[in-house]
Structures are given as structure tokens and as C-alpha cells.
Amino acid sequence: MIRHTGKRLLILHSMHTQLFPRYTLSKILRFLVLFLASSQAFADIYLSKEHSKDLPMMQASSEFHCRDKIYGVVVGKWPVNSEHLLEAYWTDPQGKQREHTRFKFIARKGETRTWAWLRLHRGEPDILERLLMQEDDSLREFNGQWKVTFFIDGKKAGKLTFQVSCG
């Protein structure tokens, strides 16, 4: 395109020179969209109590007793036989990280259901407490609202809060 602006003659080159033909560019974009969609699985995350020995319930819960085994369940779809890393950071009501769970899993055909879990343990009484036979209140520090943050393959998948009551 040539444009005359008084004393100067400006030549503007139109960017119609293509590095890639249009159909190639559209194929690249389509590939990128499909790749990103398949590599970033969308997962449902919920907390649950124990259903039977070492298996979580299917329904969500947000209130737990300090003796409960607390499950963070992740349900999602990933490419079949792909390996992934689930991480859960469990934070107590005082803001202290109490646990960091890491679990590698392999995706199955269809939906994959995997989980991390937390079990609270009372502290060991010291010698003075044992001699004085004082009531063990080490679980009381667990009372309150907890947080758990989930990561899948290093990407934040979600954050949930739950209530713990120790009587």
C-alpha cells in the first residue's frame, strides 16, 4: 500500500505475506487446543469419611471428628495409562501445615478416582503430665476449620475447608 503524505511518500507493506498457509495455521491451532484440553484434566474434588477399611465414601462431608480418617477424593478423566501426581497440603486452624501427601496414580479408562487422607494423632504426653495424670487434651488443638489444597501434576486443582471437632 502506498500513501502520500505531503512531502514524504510512505510505503506500507501489507502483512499478507504468510509464513504458513492458512490451513496449516488452523491445524496447528487445533492441535494446541486439543493438547491443552487433554493435558489439563478437570477434576471434581470432595472430602469424605471412611466407608470401609481404607476406602472413602462416595458422598461429600465437611464435618469430621478428630478420630475420623479424612479423605480428599479426586475424580477426573485423563488419557488412559497416563501417570500423574496428586499432592495435598493439609493446614490446621492455626495456619500450620500439618501434612503434605504425595501420591502417584495411573489414569484408567473413563473416570479415575483417587484420594489422599489425613488421620489426626494425639501427642505423646510428657513425663510431668504422666506423673500428674493430667487429662490428655492434645487433640483439642485440632478443633476448628482446616484447609486442604490439592495439586495435580504441580497445578492447583482446588482448595477445600472442613471442620474438625474433638469433643
What CATH superfamily classification does 41-165 receive?
A: Immunoglobulins (2.60.40.10)
Residue extents of the structural domains in the chain = 41-165
CA distances (Å), origin 100, targets 1, 26, 58, 86: 62, 43, 23, 10
pLDDT tens string 156-167: 999 999 999 987
pTM over 0.85: no
- pLDDT of 88 > 80? The answer is yes
Task: Give the residue-averaged pLDDT of 54-63.
Answer: 90
What is the overall mean pLDDT for the chain? 78
Question: What is the model's pLDDT at position 129?
Answer: 52
Task: Give the residue-averaged pLDDT of 144-153.
Answer: 97
pLDDT tens string 9-55: 444 333 344 445 555 655 554 544 444 444 445 789 999 998 888 88
Strands across the sheet with 112-119, in order?
A: 43-48, 69-76, 112-119
Task: Give percent helix, percent strand, percent coil of the chain, each to the nearest 5.
Answer: 15, 45, 40
- pLDDT of 92 > 90? The answer is yes
